[in-house]
Structure 1
Amino acid sequence: MMQGCENPQMDPLPRRAPQVCYRTGEAAALLAEPGTLALFGFGAGTPASADPRYLQVALEPFDADAPLELWRVDAPVSCGSDGALHWSAGGGWLFVALELDEREHGGPTATARLAYERLHRFVATRAAQHVLRVWNYLGAINHGDGDAERYKHFCDGRAAGMGDFFAEGFPAATAIGHHGDEHRLQVYLLAGDQAGLRVENPRQVSAWRYPRQYGRTPPSFARAMALPAQDVLAISGTAAVVGHASAHQDDLDAQLEETLLNLETLLASAGMAAGFDPRSPLKVYVRHAADAARARDFLQHRLPGVPLLLLHGNICRRELLVEIDGWRYAWSGE
């Protein structure tokens, strides 16, 4: 059954990238703000909402007063639902979210395939057909050994379901394991009516070229995506990977240092000045709860003033302790 909503009180303005920030406050009040394209709450304690623009993400924050993540555009926003699929659109931008229960769809591979088939079919009906950024959150991501690991099943299903979804090139993406119901798969994306510019990291092998040791099907994502106006870089999940190998096993500080080096390399590859600022919200996925305080202290020292949201999540490789993704907006003069 289709359900919809309309927020017509804004006049369209010249296009720019969605503005992403962390905000405190009631979800209803933020959803009522003009131009709200999407809003995210984190963890089971976050109040639910029937608004299609709101997603309760299965990842638990380490801070009890964790903010919400808000996406805003300079245009009126329409939104709707079609069963488990929810969407909103405005100003040439499209948000789509889908949540599925693997028990209802034949397991992790079949569910990932179905998710990407449904997303593909829906996006193909919209004006904004260039998928720029995707997030994947799945339960028990590291359960199973070798090719039986759940993350590898997810990669198999994603590839089978995407078809020519990413014929023009892979989007930026994140895949993280949550600690909720292991059968719960959440996928959401940002698309635009214009193509972005894919950015790779010269320190790393492109993910789709990983050797066979990482699974039957290599991951399908770009390291980052410069959005169409090229005033913001959408950064994929980034960890301590050099070439295609994980670095600094069991050393949190060294992994954080390597991750920051990879982030700076991405900025340079995108033609952006070094460094992050208060307009650059980052998510920090930490595998072990005992490491959260250390990771926060390290990053607050190295990235003063940068908004950080620390979440309890498992990285797609068991030896990796931390991963970072987020947004970097261009500074004046870049």
Structure 2
Amino acid sequence: MPILRQEYLSANAVTDTAQLLAQPGVLALVNFGDLCEPGEQPGIIPLGMPSLSDKPWEVIRYGDSVAERGTDEHCQWSVIEDVLCVATWIAPQDCSDIEAATEVAYGRLFRVIQSKGFPYPFRIWNFMPDINRGDGDREEYKKFCVGRERAFDDYHVAPREYPAASALGHHAQGAVIYLLAGRNSGVHHENPRQQPAYKYPREYGPSSPSFARATSLALRSKPQVFVSGTASIIGHNTQAVDDLQQQLAITLDNIQHLLQHVEQAESELSAVRVYLRHPQDLPLAQALINARLPESVVNFIYADICRSQLLVEIEALATPSSP
């Protein structure tokens, strides 16, 4: 039975993107580089944030058919069987009002997934410039959260229907939002160690972050768990400020506790992205992460985290271990 896979590749492994996209089972190619703008062809998703571990590509695979691809509503989409991937970009000049631009961009995405018959997003990624710029409610991330929540409200998505997500900052121009969507709804999960993000107190902005800690979905096989961007937060409070080693330990413990809660503790982790605020933290982060996870499933990414006190954020895909 097919499962969804996200695999990291070196630059040497991707010499012809058109040829790779034409292979059966290749849904999309995510590029970790300096550009955040529409790819040359649907199916290529440049994020504007570089890999620190020389793995500039992620290939998303599913099924055994050749993807159908196209462009609608200023969105690029790819579909294989019962999984749809859609990406849209926000132009640099529109990022000056990230609140309004986010609502518009999400509206485009929602219209495309609904028109294609895949109305249920189960994993969303958001990457934008200057995520920590601004004070109080005028911080860019908080303004993004307002726009995102308005879009969910516009399309009547209730908080308990929010899917897994990540939201990070980069140092490029422009923004990108992309998602995976299905024909049926996944199951959205919270972590008992953490307050649901959509219930955060007012101090975190006029609109709470609109995401679940994880979403599980069975794509004609056993359920896979898409773990949202996870950080050193217990309850709603940041832990271990300025201590990377402790933040990493708490973050990994949060992920393990979440998987235990959804009864997937024995799952194998893949597509592990470790977002680091400071590139100089790479040696320590590699030593700590590689002691617990295979190097092949981990990519270290240079990115700003949504809270200025956070030094690291981790996301992953959990797949049931083979019997």
Same fold (TM > 0.5): yes
What is the identity, as a one-letter code, of the residue corresponding to 2:143? Answer: H
Q: Offset of 1:202 from its aligned partner?
A: 0.5
SS of residue paired to 1:124: helix
Cα pair distance change 1:298/1:221, threshold 3 Å: same
2: CA distance, partners of 1:270 / 1:33: 34
Pick aligned residue for 1:272 from 261, 264, 267: 264
What is the identity, as a one-letter code, of the residue corresponding to 2:5? Answer: Q
2: CA distance, partners of 1:46 / 1:126: 25
1:121 has 2:111 as partner: yes
2: CA distance, partners of 1:48 / 1:122: 16
Cα pair distance change 1:213/1:18, threshold 3 Å: same
1:293 has 2:279 as partner: no
Partner of 2:139: 149
What is the identity, as a one-letter code, of the residue corresponding to 2:137? Answer: D
Cα pair distance change 1:306/1:271, threshold 3 Å: farther
Pick aligned residue for 1:131 from 109, 112, 121: 121
Partner of 1:324: 314
Q: Offset of 1:48 from its aligned partner?
A: 8.5
Following TM superposition, where does structure 1 have runs of at least 4 consecutive aligned residues deviating by more than 3 angstroms? 45-49, 274-277
Partner of 1:244: 236
Partner of 1:19: 5
Report which stretch shifted further, 311-320 or 76-85.
76-85
Partner of 1:194: 184
Partner of 1:164: 155
2: CA distance, partners of 1:304 / 1:104: 40
1:70 has 2:59 as partner: yes
| Conservation of the 8 A alpha-carbon contact between 1:131 and 1:166 | no
Report which stretch shifted further, 204-213 or 287-296.
287-296
Partner of 1:259: 251
2: CA distance, partners of 1:47 / 1:123: 21
Query: Runs of 5+ in structure 2 lacking a partner?
Result: none
Report Cα offsets for 1:66-104 as digits up to 9, x if no partner: 241111121342110136310011211110000012524
Cα pair distance change 1:255/1:276, threshold 3 Å: farther
State the TM-score, normalizing by the size of structure 2. Answer: 0.91
Partner of 1:107: 97
2: CA distance, partners of 1:320 / 1:297: 19
The structure whose residues are more often helix, as a share, is 2
What is the identity, as a one-letter code, of the residue corresponding to 2:293? Answer: L
| Conservation of the 8 A alpha-carbon contact between 1:97 and 1:188 | yes
Alignment RMSD: 2.0
Q: Report percent identity of matched pairs.
A: 36
- How many residues are aligned here? 314
SS of residue paired to 1:319: coil
2: CA distance, partners of 1:116 / 1:134: 10
Report Cα offsets for 1:283-317 as digits up to 9, x if no partner: 01000111122111111112244511111101100
1: CA distance, partners of 2:36 / 2:87: 17
SS of residue paired to 1:142: coil
Report Cα offsets for 1:219-250 as digits up to 9, x if no partner: 00000111134431111000000000000000
Cα pair distance change 1:46/1:67, threshold 3 Å: farther
Cα pair distance change 1:106/1:317, threshold 3 Å: closer
| Conservation of the 8 A alpha-carbon contact between 1:123 and 1:129 | yes
2: CA distance, partners of 1:177 / 1:237: 12
2: CA distance, partners of 1:79 / 1:203: 40
| Conservation of the 8 A alpha-carbon contact between 2:36 and 2:48 | no
Report Cα offsets for 1:48-76 as digits up to 9, x if no partner: 9522011111111113x324111112134
